[in-house]
Amino acid sequence: MNFSNILKNTFTALAIGLVAASCSDDKSDDDWWWNTPDDGNDEVTVKPRYMWIDAGANFVRFANSKENIAEDLQKAYDCGITDVVVDVRPTEGDVLFNTSAVEQVTKLATWEGGYHFHERTATWDYLQAFIDAGHKIGLRVHAAMNTFVGAHSYAYGLGDVGLGFRDPDKKDWFTVVDYNGNLVNVMDCNADSYSTKFFNPANDDVQQYLLTIIRDLAKYNVDGIFLDRCRYDDWASDLSDLSVRKFEEYIGGTVSCDYQKIPTTYKKQWIAFRAKTIHDFIEKASETVKSVNSDIQFGVYVGAWYSTYYECGVNWASPKYDATKKYPNWASPEWNRYGYADHLDYLLLGAYAGADNVYGTTEWTCQGFCKLAKEKLCGEVHFSGGPDVGNGTGWTEGGRPDAVTNSIDACLNVADGYFIFDMVHVRMYDYWNAIKTGVDKYKKNS
């Protein structure tokens, strides 16, 4: 999720049948994220309802105004949102909180009034401003960070930003991709092909760098930390010498084919190796957060399209879930082993279907995404699912309060909570009342 794609993304519809899994529900209903205190006007407790606040998309409004932050958080609370997730590490990899590990964000790109950078001149702590304003009115405030990213090339000649451009010595931290049949470091790819510059997740120096940032983030009095983009960039990465060497260690043998052929020649092993890389980092990140403050809830944001999400090296399911039964073409027993749901306190699920595909039982319907995720998570972790109400078929022009309201019904009654992306779209299309209508309907039927 990043600002350069906020108003342009579309989603390819992929239909797939319902999957059966044998799992048990291990989480207790006494857990804090399930029993969410309401505003005092209802006797019942309610499932949590999360709203994401993208850094770039909301930067013009929030970068220099505590008043705007307080105003929109109050609107979110009034319409029934219980939790906000504040993006404090956008895709160029700099941050909006205090840490000595990396530079502060001073500007982010915006489409408002033409494509340009909007500068932050305020010196107050961006993340702490959200924490203070949110906690004051009873909202839980979580921090989110784009994880395996370290630079960004902006379109239309706007420029290059981030660690990767400031420090050429860190070039080997970045992923090597199959780029038109050649192995190319992503820092040498143009903005049209690879605008967001991903790190190589298998690089130990990268992991230690990110864990330092996560450790500093956990020093804040946030209610939770969510990792976004905690994954490989795509199926074409990473094909560096480092990754190939680590893959050879994983399989206990020498790779005898051209590097570009690894994903096909050793497909299932390669898929499992990448999943292990991300799984092991998730485990380290969780331990890092808990070592600073055991009360902070640790989680991730992931896309709900499990049938193809393996291409990013992520198995967000429970290790109890047997993916080989439904996905024999790419899943293996080793893949199953690297499901990381049991290392999470909570999971945010992007159930990003079109506005006319809210209800259903398959992938690429909001409700279906949540139903399928519940089976894959096997009770290891509670999760909130919901739509991106600004991108995808039927969403991009606004005017769909009906779909917003229905998405609350479709997702909240299947998942353990609700999730909506992003505040910029709610504000732009004035969906506050649509959310309140859906929340009130849920409360009435609870």
| Contact call for residues 414 and 446 (beta carbons, < 8 A) | no
What's the CA gap between 201 and 288, in Å, rounded?
A: 17
What's the CA gap between 418 and 407, in Å, rounded?
A: 9
Backbone angles phi, psi at 154, to 5 degrees: -85, 145
**C-alpha 9: how far from its chain's center?**
15
What's the CA gap between 98 and 105, in Å, rounded?
A: 11
User: Which residue, among 316, 281, 344, 300, has the nearest Cα to 145 in the 3D structure?
Assistant: 300
Q: Each residue's pLDDT tens digit in the chain (446 positions)?
A: 543 344 333 333 323 333 333 464 444 444 434 444 444 444 345 799 999 999 999 999 999 999 999 999 999 999 999 999 999 999 999 999 999 999 999 999 998 888 999 999 999 999 999 999 999 999 999 999 999 999 999 988 899 999 999 999 999 999 999 998 999 999 999 888 999 999 999 999 999 999 999 999 999 999 999 999 999 999 999 999 999 999 999 999 999 888 889 999 999 999 999 999 999 999 999 999 999 999 999 999 999 999 999 999 999 999 999 999 999 999 999 999 999 999 999 999 999 999 999 999 999 999 999 999 999 999 999 999 999 999 999 999 999 999 999 999 999 999 999 999 999 999 999 999 999 999 999 999 88
Q: 3-9+32-445 belongs to which homologous superfamily?
A: Glycosidases (3.20.20.80)
What's the CA gap between 323 and 103, in Å, rounded?
A: 41
| Global pTM value | 0.92
pLDDT of residue 112: 82
Domain residue extents for the chain: 3-9+32-445
pLDDT of residue 8: 35
